[in-house]
């Protein structure tokens, strides 16, 4: 992965880093925690200018987010509800509640979500489903992405050859997010199974 990124940046420069970030939105196995510090390190070696790196990586973030936004928009609310109805233990009312929550907190979610591992990419899809105004979505995504990218690019720039330390530390945070999500899923499934059991038990009386 690192060798591919190095080759991409050597051949394309800062636009190569932007392309990698755009792909990271669509293919999460390409982590921004590697791309951004590596681009910062390359900048510290004089291979790319720091402003160009920040410009192109933020542009890549926005392009990738817009691609997922339009996937959500094409999916639409009706198809989302139809899919939800087919998923075991999931109710259409769950989608309605999520929709109501997103309509109330969507702007904050899009902005801060760009700075949370895993959710960085995913948040664009519900924004598209709910057809958040495109200008608002783009502005919030740009602002959130610029903050996230700047932190990691500067970390790589300042750490120099030790830029890979960034990935190690962020990996801990990513694992915490994964653990919290997994726990939430287990709790949800447990509550829904218990609800179904009680419903069946009550119907036999």
The span from the CA of 29 to the CA of 188, in Å, is 27
The span from the CA of 203 to the CA of 91, in Å, is 20
pTM of the model: 0.77
* End-to-end Cα distance, the chain: 60
pLDDT tens, residue by residue, 110-134: 898 888 776 777 788 888 888 889 9
Q: What is the CA radius of gyration of the chain?
A: 20
- Which residue is associated with the tokens 């038990």? 201
> Quick one: 138 exposed, middle or buried, by C-beta within 10 A (0-12, 13-18, 19+)?
middle
Q: How many CA atoms lie within 13 A of 130 on its CB side?
A: 23
pLDDT tens, residue by residue, 9-28: 878 888 888 888 888 877 76
The span from the CA of 116 to the CA of 118, in Å, is 6
């Amino acid at each position: 992965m690192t060798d591919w990124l190095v080759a991409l940046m050597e051949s394309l420069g800062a636009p190569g880093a932007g392309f990698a970030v755009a792909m990271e939105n669509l293919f999460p196995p390409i982590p921004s925690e590697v791309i951004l510090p590596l681009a910062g390190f390359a900048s510290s070696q004089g291979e790319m200018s720091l402003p160009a790196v920040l410009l192109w990586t933020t542009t890549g973030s926005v392009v990738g987010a817009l691609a997922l936004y339009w996937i959500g928009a094409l999916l639409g609310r009706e198809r989302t509800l139809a899919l939800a109805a087919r998923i075991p233990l999931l109710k259409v009312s769950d989608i309605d509640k999520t929709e109501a929550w997103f309509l109330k907190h969507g702007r904050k979610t899009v902005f801060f979500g760009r700075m949370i591992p895993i959710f960085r990419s995913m948040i664009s899809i519900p924004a598209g489903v709910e057809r958040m105004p495109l200008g608002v979505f783009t502005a919030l995504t740009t602002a959130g992405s610029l903050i996230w990218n700047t932190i990691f690019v500067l970390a790589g720039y300042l750490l120099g050859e030790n830029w890979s330390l960034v990935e190690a530390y962020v990996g801990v945070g990513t694992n915490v997010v994964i653990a919290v999500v997994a726990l939430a899923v287990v709790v949800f499934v447990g509550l829904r199974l218990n609800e179904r059991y009680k419903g069946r038990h009550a119907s036999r009386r």
